[in-house]
Chains A and B, each alone.
Chain A
Amino acid sequence: MVDEILTIVLDGAIYASWLFIVALGLTFVFGVLKILNIAHGGIYALGAYSTATLVPIFYSLGMPEQLVILAMLVSALAVAIVITPIMERGILRRFYGQDEVLIVLVTYAIYLVLEDVQKLIWGMNSLYVSEPRELLGALEFGSLYYVGYDLALIGLAIFCGLFLWFVLNKTQSGKIVLAVIHNPEISGCMGVNINKVYLAAFFIGAFLAALAGSFTAPLISVQVGISVAVVIESFAVVIIGGLGSIPGAVIGALIIGMARAACVHKLPEAEIFIMYFCMAGMLIFKPKGLFQGAQARKI
């Protein structure tokens, strides 16, 4: 019994960590730019593809195995550096202040374009890059073996969450971002360069999406279509937690991760709809999510 509970908690935590890293960028971009970015899934896929491309090159250069994590970070960074100016400066800035539905449609269109970009660059074949997963070996928990890499994802998620929280709350730049979130017009009047803040916020969101893809690549066969489930599940997380809320993303990811793990172990028939059940429950009782506080009405 203890073994089973430990297994459920560990499985849930690993899944929640992965979900949190993906959802963190999505909720942060919404918080700052007020954009529900469906193309987030496309950036995640680009992160996975770039890692699947860069890591074999890294190995072929005879670099030390332990530094492969650096190669994965670089690939995520490269995606964010390339995609941010194109998406934020090139397309999205033209739609700021427009109807939210229109912006969702724009990001959906970008998502479709990114899917085709993947086909154009990498073709239809699957890519495999499972080697980084062997780096940390396996650990025994109860009667089961867990791969060290999977457990390290929990650490990565905690680091990403705490780092973003620290930057936002304890640094001057973060406080400027918070001011922009609170009221972009007044922040602008006070001399804050809103465009720069938007660009930086989108970059962080894109980097987090690419980072999630990059660290997921060793777990899966990287192929066209991997972003679909990611878009749906990360949306579920932010709906439960509240759009734009980092603590909300933590709780949303944990609720879905733990509920899913418990279902797979104890009630497998319910696994397929548990995420939607959580989401629907939240929409009925707290439509703005767990961490979306009351907002003052602007006159």
Chain B
Amino acid sequence: MNFFRQCLILISSILISLLTFVGISNADGHKGFKLGVVTFLSGPAAEPFGVPAWNGGKLFIKLLNEGKVPAPYNKKGFGGMKITAIPIDESGGATKQVQEFRNLVQRDKVDAVLGYVSSGDCMAIPSVADELKALTVLYDCGTPRVFEDASYKYVFRTAAHAAMDNIAIAKYLIEKGHDISSIAGINQNYAWGKDSWKDFSVSVKKLSPSSEIKNELFPKIFSGQYGTEISALMNSKAKVVHSSLWGGDLQSFILQAKPRGLFKRTQVVFSAGDHVMPGLGNKYPEGVILGARGQYGMMAPDTELNKWFYKSYMDEYGVFPAQPPYRMVQGLMGLKMAIEKAMEKNGGKKPNKDEIAAAFKGLEFDSPGGLVQMKLGDGHQAIQPHAIGTTVKDKDGNITVTDIVRYKASCVNPPNGIKAVDWINAGFPGADC
């Protein structure tokens, strides 16, 4: 019996040693780049944001690995390294996301994490990223507070923050001669909604000091029922109603407000209104002023890079890309450029996170939405050009965007070292329009 037990222990030990050896060999032999991708894959934010973003990301990673992306992104993968993506669902709240982030970094040993749509998650992750020294690219979230209230070594945001969206809309309203003598807002009750309304209302007050705030509504996120809010907005008789609602909330708000005549009675502006257009189609109201959080989708610039991306996405999914896939691809492009810049410096070896972070700082790169410059937050926060337009029905009866005005990045983003709201309050000093 003892003999058998000893044999069993011996065989088990050999097997465990072999498995460990194989594991170590694989870890050492990994020549690719492991990327954790975090976005909403379930819940109300999945359909309008997470899924199209990941669709764009998946497609772009596939084309990068095949070397089928046009210059300057034509080198395979990241600097020749094959990209392996590990998608993670962002739903569940900030506490869960911090745990998921730790899992990605400590258990899955990813080389970088790209993710986060929710401003709440973007506020929670960066301090953990720096604690773990994990290279992290925030690709979508909008709150300006990430780099205005703190600084991080390993965290970068490759898309402009929400201040740009709301400053540009205020400027657009004035340039197009809209009556902004009174404004009202309906924005979700968390960082994104609060910051968006603050940036918009302060911008309007600065550009037109006599403007009066009639109503400020902050329903809870994912509330879905807006009948009472629509009555309150219509009762306020404000000339302009501003909203940064997104996803299912924006879809429900439009469906409930349209038959009640809100869009005919007042000028409605949606700071991030493009991403529900593919789903709503002709149910989207006419005459709405909207932004896409950058020059994306129907407001994208007429460049070769954009034409390539727009067509690739259309061919793959049969629907035009709105802001979410653009922003994820923008994040991937930024990361690729930073990695390849770091590789140029270290002789072509796989760069470590400190080398990538150093290369990322202050980086400038082209994207389908225009030139992205990591200029704020000491080189960690992007600025980019913006576009605002108005919805209209084309001759076939389809909703499209017209009257597009483009804004230079330096016109609608604060300079480095100044908080967005302080810059607005100071009257946009140094704005290059």
Question: A residues touching B (Cβ–Cβ < 8 Å)?
Answer: 3-4, 7, 10-12, 14-15, 18, 119, 124-126, 128, 130, 133-134, 138, 143-147, 150, 218-221, 223-226, 228-229, 260-261, 264-265, 268-269, 271-272
Contacts and interface: CB of A to CB of B under 8 A. Distances in A.
B417 interface: no
A272 B189 contact: yes
Given A130-B283, A272-B189, A226 B248 contact: yes
A220 B283 CA distance: 12
B255 A7 contact: no
Nearest to B265: A145
Given A14-B227, A128-B279, A223-B44, A268 B51 contact: no
Contacts, number: 116
A12 B255 CA distance: 19
A145 B252 CA distance: 18
Interface residues of B, number: 37
Given A124-B46, A134-B259, A265-B232, A220 B227 contact: no
A12 B312 CA distance: 48
A138 to B, nearest CB: 6
19 contacts: A7-B235, A14-B227, A124-B42, A124-B47, A124-B51, A126-B47, A133-B259, A138-B260, A219-B256, A220-B225, A220-B251, A221-B251, A224-B43, A226-B248, A229-B222, A268-B216, A269-B218, A271-B217, A272-B189
A130 B256 CA distance: 9
**Which of A10, A124, A218 has the most chain B CB atoms inside 10 A of its CB?**
A124
Contact of B227 (A11, A138, A223): A11
Contacts of B279: 125-126, 128, 221
B260 A224 contact: no
B280 A224 contact: no
Nearest to B258: A130
B223 interface: yes
Given A14-B227, A219-B256, A265-B228, 8 more contacts: A128-B279, A143-B234, A221-B248, A223-B46, A224-B42, A228-B222, A229-B223, A268-B232
B229 interface: yes
Given A11-B227, A15-B225, A268-B218, A219 B189 contact: no
Given A125-B47, A229-B223, A264 B42 contact: no
Interface in B262-290: 279-280, 283
A150 B227 contact: yes
Interface of B: 41-44, 46-48, 51, 189, 215-220, 222-225, 227-229, 231-232, 234-235, 248, 251-252, 255-256, 259-261, 279-280, 283
A42 to B, nearest CB: 14
Nearest to A221: B251
A221 B259 CA distance: 15
A144 B227 CA distance: 12
A219 B248 CA distance: 11
A226 B283 contact: no
B261 A11 contact: no
B52 to A, nearest CB: 10
B192 to A, nearest CB: 15
B260 A147 contact: yes
Given A138-B259, A220-B224, A126 B251 contact: yes
A223 B216 CA distance: 27
A226 B280 contact: no
Contacts of A221: 248, 251-252, 255, 279
Contact of B224 (A143, A229, A272): A229
A180 B220 CA distance: 40
Contact of B48 (A10, A126, A264, A272): A126
Contacts of A145: 259-261
Given A219-B225, A264-B228, A4 B235 contact: yes
B252 A219 contact: yes
Contacts of A18: 225
Nearest to A140: B261
In the A-B complex, list the 3 residue pairs whose CB atoms are closest, starting with the nearest.
A221-B251, A11-B228, A225-B44
Nearest to A226: B224
B47 A223 contact: yes
A138 B283 contact: no
Nearest to B236: A265
B259 A271 contact: no
Contacts of A220: 224-225, 248, 251-252, 255-256
Given A128-B280, A221-B255, A228-B222, A11 B43 contact: no
B226 to A, nearest CB: 9
A142 B107 CA distance: 62
A144 B255 contact: no
A11 B215 contact: no
A218 B219 CA distance: 20
Contacts of A225: 42-44, 222, 248
Nearest to A271: B219
Given A11-B227, A138-B260, A264 B255 contact: no
Contacts of A218: 255
Nearest to A141: B231
Contacts of B283: 128, 130
A15 B228 contact: yes
**Which of B44, B51, B216, B225 has the most chain A CB atoms inside 10 A of its CB?**
B225
Contacts of A272: 189, 218-220
Contact of B46 (A128, A150, A224, A269): A224
B228 A261 contact: yes
